[in-house]
Structure 1
Amino acid sequence: MKFRLTLFFVCLFALVFPISGIVLAEEKSVSGSAVDISAVSAVLIEGSTGDIIYEKDKDKELVPASITKIMTLTLIFEALDNGKLTLETPVSVSEYAASMGGSQVFLEPNETQTVDTMIKCISIASANDAAVAMAEKIAGSEEAFVKKMNEKAVALGMKHTQFKNCTGLDDNIESGHFSSAYDVALMSRELITKHPEISNYSTVWMDTIIHKTKKGESEFGLTNTNKLVRFYDGITGLKTG
């Protein structure tokens, strides 16, 4: 398990920022001179303890893009744990949620999907529309949900993170939406250790959902944005940017 968690974090930051070589480590620390990483920022932590094994500019504030959804998913699973939601709870899609651009599954206004399907859409297809629909379901509005995201970031000790939305869509440093390699590691560790069932979604390469609207039912295919899930044996996730 320790090896898999360590490998996960290496692969995570290979996706956050380009890395010229992948480093695998279990117990030994890695000095900066021992590896050649071209990424602007990187961190490798031991999954069970959180100990830092390697870091390069780990606190540099950068744009997280869709990796933002790791926090969105964390709050969704917390809502499941505290009984506010079940996997079968219906979620109605607002016009605002349906209007999201970027990565999406083309949910329509007033369409209803289960929490399970929404998690699938967020984890596999990085769906912005599903993320916003879930934010509204949990907190009433995306704005209120983002407040919860920032509160959770503080609780986790994420000192170089501020969220402005629940998707990472159109984020930039100037807008005040940013995170760091180490902070991403902190929230990723929180998600996979407290909610290991996320791997039931993040390891899926391809799946389908059924759109149910006034026009009838139609099948929609999902393909994981994390291509390593298909090509690299043992990968368990977690999220691309």
Structure 2
Amino acid sequence: MILAVVLSTAGAGVHAQSIMPRAPEIAGSSYILIDATTGHVIMEQNADEALPPASLTKMMTAYIAEVEIDNGNMSYDDLAFISEKAWRTQGSKTFVDVNSRVRIEDLLRGIIIQSGNDASVAMAEHIAGSEEAFADLMNQHARALGMNDSYFVNSSGLDDDGNTNLMSARDLATLARATIVEHPTHYAMYSEREFTFNGITQPNRNTLLFRDPTVDGMKTGWTTQAGFCLVASGERDGMRLIAVVMGTASEDARVVETQKMLSYGFRFFETYRLYDAGEVINSARVWSGAESSVDLGIQEEVLITLPRGRSEDLVATLNTDDVIRGGFEAGEVMGTVEVSLEDEVLYSGDVVAIQAVERGGLLRRLIDALTLFFMGLFS
């Protein structure tokens, strides 16, 4: 049985909210914009191309540290030994002292806010014993997250004699989303505008934090090979977006191009609550049961991304068996629902029985069996 249910209709005419321009052109090697809540891709270009990520690498270094902390394997107050290798690491620095011990919380801030290469190496050595072993750990975490176009050789993103890390814009968006969704207690660090360590105060290199009050993360990167890169996240009116741009021409360009994507996404799209957890979406006839009908609904809350002003145009199609017989528990899958906007399917998921329905008595089963026989539905 296929039952089409129109959730609501926009009616005749063109609505101003449904008028939408094409996505802006972005001056970068690759880019992607996603809804952090649903994972829906709003715009992208060359998003699967593996490119040098420069210091965006440190997002994975920080992510692994956050995993280790949340799994109870280390804490903010643990002390990491600063090796000569970490101390000598060139490029941006947190200015840790050789042979000293530094709190994990300070190293994490050094990685996220100051983009410290020395802090990244120190964190890698503390967690895995060596940076080479940590790079293997980075690759394992990448595979577990489904980052199929990423490969790591170090924890900082520095070019290493031509052997460099590789990440795609899509993988960076995946990693950013995992950081925000899976480890939210650490995310506030990404919004901090400066960090002082060893008497040296350095500003956060993500200048979008100073330009746009709705932006609260995440990370910048630059090398000659990678160009200027930026992963940014912000929230407006209950919608969180993640924007990634790689290979722009300047520090200012990466900010301008990222702002274009965020402005477009926030202006023309919304995160829409399609169903509440346990919401009844329809009812179905029950044969041979103690009850003659059952409510069908969604077990968990469902959120989707759609163009603003188009919620009334959504169409839900409910698919269930031709005959539903009594003798099932609450929560048992009874079919599927598919929600589409024009020709695009925005959601497809299971529909469950909201209540349990026991088998009916012998007389009820006999009457329903005869009814189904004459209807040609008996099996």
**TM-score, length-scaled by structure 1:** 0.80
Aligned residue number for residue 205 of structure 2 = 225
Secondary structure, aligned partner of 1:237: strand
Asked whether the 8 Å contact 1:91–1:133 carries over to 2, the reply is yes
Aligned residue number for residue 194 of structure 1 = 182
**Quick check: 1:42 aligned with 2:31?**
yes
**Quick check: 1:203 aligned with 2:191?**
yes
Asked whether the 8 Å contact 1:203–1:236 carries over to 2, the reply is yes
Structure 1's unaligned 5+ residue stretches are 1-27, 212-218
**Quick check: 1:64 aligned with 2:50?**
no
State the identity %: 37
Choose from 175, 188, 199 the match for 2:163. 175
**Aligned in 2, Cα 1:91/1:162: closer, same or farther, shift over 3 Å?**
same
Aligned residue number for residue 21 of structure 1 = none
Cα deviation code 1:33-80 (max 9, x no counterpart): 432222221111111121211111111121100000010011000110
Partner AA of 2:136 in structure 1: K
Cα shift at 1:222: 2.3
Asked whether the 8 Å contact 1:92–1:113 carries over to 2, the reply is yes
Q: CA RMSD in A?
A: 1.8
Choose from 148, 157, 171 the match for 1:159. 148
Question: Which of the two has higher C-alpha Rg?
Answer: 2
Counterparts of 1:1-241 in structure 2 under 5 Å?
A: 33-170=22-159, 175-209=163-197, 211=198, 219-241=199-221
Asked whether the 8 Å contact 1:63–1:171 carries over to 2, the reply is no
Q: Which moved more, 1:189-198 or 1:89-98?
A: 189-198
Distance in 2, Cα, partners of 1:104 & 1:84: 26
Asked whether the 8 Å contact 1:65–1:171 carries over to 2, the reply is no
- Aligned pair count? 203
Cα shift at 1:171: 5.4
Which structure shows the bigger proportion of residues in strand conformation? Answer: 2
Q: Which moved more, 1:124-133 or 1:39-48?
A: 39-48
Secondary structure, aligned partner of 2:179: helix
Secondary structure, aligned partner of 1:132: helix
Secondary structure, aligned partner of 1:169: coil
Partner AA of 1:201 in structure 2: M
Partner AA of 2:154 in structure 1: N
Distance in 2, Cα, partners of 1:46 & 1:36: 19
Secondary structure, aligned partner of 2:217: coil
Structure 2's unaligned 5+ residue stretches are 1-17, 222-379
Distance in 2, Cα, partners of 1:75 & 1:185: 16
**TM-score, length-scaled by structure 2:** 0.51
Indicate the structure whose relative CO is greater, using CA pairs within 8 Å and at least 6 residues apart: 1
